Structure 1
Amino acid sequence: MTAETNTGPMLGQRHVQTFLLFLSIVVNYIAKFNAGVAVVAMTNAESTNPNFPEYNWNEMERSYILSSFFWGYIMTQFLGGWLCRRYGARLTMFVSTIGSAVLVLLVPFCVPWGGWQAYCVIRVGMGLFQGLMFPCVHAHLANWCPASERNRLGALANTGLDFGTLLAMFVSGQVAASSMGWPGIFYISCAVGVLWCIGWIIFGADSPRQSKFISKAELHYIESSINASSKQEEKIETRQIPVPWKAILTSAPFWSLFLVRCTQSWGYSTLQAEIPAYMNGVLLMEMKSNALFSALPYLASWVMAFVYLIVSDILLTGGTLTITGIRKTFNSLASWLPAISLIGLSFLDSSQKTLAIVLMTVSVGINAGSTIGSALNTIDLSPNHAGILMGIVNTGANIVPILTPLLVGIIVKNEQDRVEWQVVFIISAVIFFVGNLFYILFGQMVNQPWNAADFLDQQKAPICQEEGQAAKANAKAIEALQNEKQEKDNNT
């Protein structure tokens, strides 16, 4: 009679933590990406609510606003990983979200006297706070996800990217066109952030052992699964494990992940930030319909995230594909098909609105596979250093959204010129293709040797052994010289 395998409760605290991570991404993405709709509403009051101030910002100034968030965002990625290891995800994510929520509330009060420059300063501050979040998300998932559920729970948490963007696009457009006007976008963004912080303080926990609500069965299930996957007899606190910087920075699988996340960010951020402007300028769509159709691709992306999740579970449990096969296959679909769609999109104009919307929807929807395809690869490579890896990867990936709006500002001098947008989309398509090619060739989906808690000790052992052997050899050489000298003295 075989012992029954402990699979933990079907619904437990690991799912609560996953849901809280999902919501954290949603509320932060609402604050982060409402600017794509807000700047259109703030510069074209006739398309929304004419009872609120309108600002005469040119395309380059609008591009500065859209990219300014990332000026701050890239500065705190490493800090986020360090703070998470030092103080835990619970405190760090709380500070990240409450700081961003307070700052987004300042926009309606500061822009009237400070103009687009004040808006940029606020978004830089928001970026500084939100930069702490994703390293914590990945470290938190590594602490809470049993090995067999890592792909599922990680993907579920990351569906917040699509749902948050969906709400930022759709709700922001509807609010801007309502009696609240464009200031209402920022009031709502602040409110949902504060509500999440309250729930996080109550239910969030840095690890299963620190949770006040977890059952003993679930605690044992999570810890035994994580320990077994790490081949450790005892669980060592992640924050106590030294970071093997040299091994990480000379790892080909890590750099393939870094590159593919950067190229993925380029294509995605181009669409994410510029869809409202493209629809308003090239497709000649008003804000109400613009908000609906700007959000439609992200609705498709959110739905497709669950499709990818279900398919990957079926393929994994059935043994049809390994995690390596799933990651590379899904990431290829998520990169190369949108690349083709972007090229097609670049040749359409206002007489082909329906086809343009279909291609945008397909491009963003299929791109949802990149979450399972590559976003979770930090945990594959090293659960012990997932937060640090995410800090490095996210720094590079979020330098890109600084560049894409600025590139659009340089290329697109007339937002109604389809040919200028053509250049933007074709560049993104090529970058999509190249990044995924490197990931296929060099990416890996297994724990790297440097994930081991005693990796640095193992590296030092041979050196110490060599030093000991050298010392012995030197001692023998000295002894031989002394003996030789003694013999000469005796002979004389």
Structure 2
Amino acid sequence: MQCMRWIVSVMVCIGLFCNYMLRIHIDFAITQIVGNSTNSSTVHSQYDWTPLEKSWVLGSFFYGYILLQIPGGRLAEKFGTRNVLGISMLGSVMVSYLLPVLAGWSPWAVVAARIIQGLLLSPTYPSIPPLYVKWTPLQERSRFVSFSYSGSNLGPVLTYPLCGVIMDNFGWEMVFYTTASLSLIWCLAWFVLVSESPETNRWISQDELDFIVKNRDEGKIQNNQDGVEPSLFKIVLEMLKSPKVWVIMAYDLAYCWGLYAFLVMGPTFINSIATHGEENKYTQNALLTMMPFLAKTVCSGLFGILSDFIISKGVKLITAQKIFASLTLLPPALALIMMGYLTSEPLFCVLVITAGFAFAGATGCGGIQNIMLQAPNRSGTFLGISNGFGNLSGAITPLLANWLTHPDSSWDPILGWRLFFATSSVLNVFAAILFIFFAGDKQQQFDTF
């Protein structure tokens, strides 16, 4: 088979889509889980959770999610992306099947389950860069990475409308059963089709194997001279001593903060400002919420093609990465500020954030690629550190939004939303400046011992 590397890319893309389904299905379903409205054709359970309980349910995933980022990346380097990603996804599927039952017990049972689900999905993103290093020719890497990561953009694009249709017709419980079943199908296909490297793949042709092996590394990967693997603690400590690592950590924190500001709180924000009738309300809200992520998905692939093109014309890798990192952070910063002042026009508000989030699709050509440039040997551990740090925002943003927008707060909720989105804008600008002036372009010392 001549296109096995692209089949692997498609499988990663679909896997990240399923990953996002499992992490965000509750963000939209909770708009029906909590409350007292009913659908004309379906009677479904609803619960009187307090705003604080609701915010804990929304943020609890990330308390588990940040814990195994670093070990997950290291596990993938040692035991393979195929095993780490496949097993973590399979475990999360099982938890999703249990969530409707646990919701009937207590919101705190859901919190506990979501922490476990976050723990299970924690290794997924850090586990992927080692697979990229083995499977991607250097001249195709921007397209490969951008396309693969577009699956995380497709998550909100398809999950929110799917949730809306299901909730309008069958009730919120079916949201969890449906998303879990689709993800289970992916797990089975993953273990059948994907191998850890092209050398061990049963489906690949010899010509494609030779092409990948010849072009993937360009001498970047170095092996340990004495054959002794350093401890994870030593690797992490050396990484944290590097200012270049902190630049990527700041980039990841800003990117994730802006993403979760809209991804986790977006359905609640849209629900609070949109005005429409009761009929098909969840489908309408879902369509509004998905628009920014649809734009991000489309532009992710376009940015990948553009990045490979300008690099082929002689632009340095680090220069291209700084350009795309800036595009990832600065337009969304402006859009989030504007969003808070357009609450009287929900559609126009969403159009503005859609335009801003389209540029966030450039991240696959910016910060993520920079990690593989600086640490091809330990890209999983590196991403584990930065992604774990960045995803602290997922635990903080629901609590911050609840504090700023709660009806009993001392200021108007609209002002609270403006302050909430402004925090993301400030972080984005700060991180973009750091990346432009201080991002590294050499293989780091912690990657060579």
Question: 66, 91, 107: which one pairs with 2:83?
Answer: 91
Residue 120 (1) aligns with residue 116 (2): no
Residue identity matched to 1:444: G
Query: Quick one: distance in 2 between partners of 1:68 and 1:173?
Result: 23
Query: Quick one: distance in 1 between partners of 2:144 and 2:402?
Result: 38
Q: 1:166 to 1:33 in 2, by over 3 A?
A: same
Note if contact 2:332-2:356 (Cα within 8 Å) is conserved in structure 1.
Answer: yes
Query: Quick one: distance in 1 between partners of 2:21 and 2:31?
Result: 16
Question: 324, 328, 343: which one pairs with 1:349?
Answer: 343
Deviates more, 1:399-408 or 1:43-52: 43-52
Q: What SS does structure 1 have at the residue aligned with 2:120?
A: helix
Residue 316 (1) aligns with residue 318 (2): no
TM-score normalized by the length of structure 1: 0.84
Give the C-alpha shift of residue 248 in structure 1.
Answer: 2.2
Tell me the equivalent position of 1:57.
Answer: 49
Tell me the equivalent position of 1:40.
Answer: 31
Note if contact 2:57-2:111 (Cα within 8 Å) is conserved in structure 1.
Answer: yes
Residue identity matched to 2:421: F
Give the C-alpha shift of residue 256 in structure 1.
Answer: 0.5
Q: What SS does structure 2 have at the residue aligned with 1:383?
A: coil
Give the C-alpha shift of residue 357 in structure 1.
Answer: 1.5
Q: 1:282 to 1:414 in 2, by over 3 A?
A: farther
Q: 1:229 to 1:165 in 2, by over 3 A?
A: farther
Give the C-alpha shift of residue 202 in structure 1.
Answer: 0.6
Tell me the equivalent position of 1:216.
Answer: 206
Question: 384, 397, 414: which one pairs with 1:418?
Answer: 414
Q: 1:94 to 1:231 in 2, by over 3 A?
A: closer
Map residues 136-285 of structure 1 onto 2, 5 A cutoff. 136-178=127-169, 180-230=170-220, 242=230, 244-285=235-276
Give the C-alpha shift of residue 390 in structure 1.
Answer: 1.1
Question: 429, 440, 443: which one pairs with 1:444?
Answer: 440
Q: 1:44 to 1:174 in 2, by over 3 A?
A: farther
RMSD between aligned residues: 2.2
Note if contact 1:173-1:287 (Cα within 8 Å) is conserved in structure 2.
Answer: yes
Residue 427 (1) aligns with residue 423 (2): yes
Note if contact 1:47-1:288 (Cα within 8 Å) is conserved in structure 2.
Answer: no
Which digits, 9 at most, give the CA deviation of each residue in 1:183-237, with x for residues without a partner? 11101111111111111111111111111112222222222223433276xx789
Unaligned runs of 5+ in 2: none
Tell me the equivalent position of 2:386.
Answer: 393
Q: 1:203 to 1:48 in 2, by over 3 A?
A: same
Query: Quick one: distance in 2 between partners of 1:78 and 1:362?
Result: 33
Note if contact 1:45-1:53 (Cα within 8 Å) is conserved in structure 2.
Answer: no
Query: Quick one: distance in 2 between partners of 1:79 and 1:228?
Result: 27
Give the C-alpha shift of residue 354 in structure 1.
Answer: 2.5
Which digits, 9 at most, give the CA deviation of each residue in 1:79-135, with x for residues without a partner? 2123223322222111101000110111112211x2211111111111011011112
Give the C-alpha shift of residue 302 in structure 1.
Answer: 0.6
Deviates more, 1:17-26 or 1:217-226: 217-226
Tell me the equivalent position of 1:374.
Answer: 367
Note if contact 1:13-1:214 (Cα within 8 Å) is conserved in structure 2.
Answer: yes
Residue identity matched to 1:278: F
Give the C-alpha shift of residue 54 in structure 1.
Answer: 1.2
Residue 297 (1) aligns with residue 289 (2): no
Q: 1:200 to 1:236 in 2, by over 3 A?
A: farther
Q: 1:397 to 1:141 in 2, by over 3 A?
A: same
Query: Quick one: distance in 2 between partners of 1:203 and 1:18?
Result: 11
Give the C-alpha shift of residue 246 in structure 1.
Answer: 4.8
Note if contact 1:276-1:290 (Cα within 8 Å) is conserved in structure 2.
Answer: yes
Query: Quick one: distance in 2 between partners of 1:221 and 1:172?
Result: 42
Query: Quick one: distance in 2 between partners of 1:250 and 1:423?
Result: 34
Query: Quick one: distance in 1 between partners of 2:219 and 2:443?
Result: 9
Note if contact 2:304-2:364 (Cα within 8 Å) is conserved in structure 1.
Answer: no
Tell me the equivalent position of 2:94.
Answer: 102
Q: 1:317 to 1:41 in 2, by over 3 A?
A: same
Query: Quick one: distance in 1 between partners of 2:33 and 2:396?
Result: 23
Deviates more, 1:213-222 or 1:396-405: 213-222
Give the C-alpha shift of residue 47 in structure 1.
Answer: 6.8
Query: Quick one: distance in 1 between partners of 2:36 and 2:28?
Result: 12
Q: What SS does structure 2 have at the residue aligned with 1:106?
A: helix
Note if contact 1:282-1:417 (Cα within 8 Å) is conserved in structure 2.
Answer: no
Q: What SS does structure 1 have at the residue aligned with 2:48?
A: coil
Query: Quick one: distance in 2 between partners of 1:379 and 1:42?
Result: 41
Q: 1:342 to 1:317 in 2, by over 3 A?
A: same
Residue identity matched to 1:181: G
Residue 29 (1) aligns with residue 20 (2): yes
Query: Quick one: distance in 2 between partners of 1:120 and 1:247?
Result: 35
Give the C-alpha shift of residue 432 in structure 1.
Answer: 1.1
Residue identity matched to 2:306: V
Query: Quick one: distance in 2 between partners of 1:435 and 1:91?
Result: 33
Query: Quick one: distance in 1 between partners of 2:134 and 2:405?
Result: 45
Which structure is larger by alpha-carbon Rg, 1 or 2? 1
State, as a whole percentage, how many aligned pairs show the same letter: 24
Residue identity matched to 2:141: R
Unaligned runs of 5+ in 1: 1-8, 457-492
Note if contact 1:144-1:207 (Cα within 8 Å) is conserved in structure 2.
Answer: yes
TM-score normalized by the length of structure 2: 0.92
Note if contact 1:155-1:371 (Cα within 8 Å) is conserved in structure 2.
Answer: yes
Query: Quick one: distance in 2 between partners of 1:36 and 1:300?
Result: 20
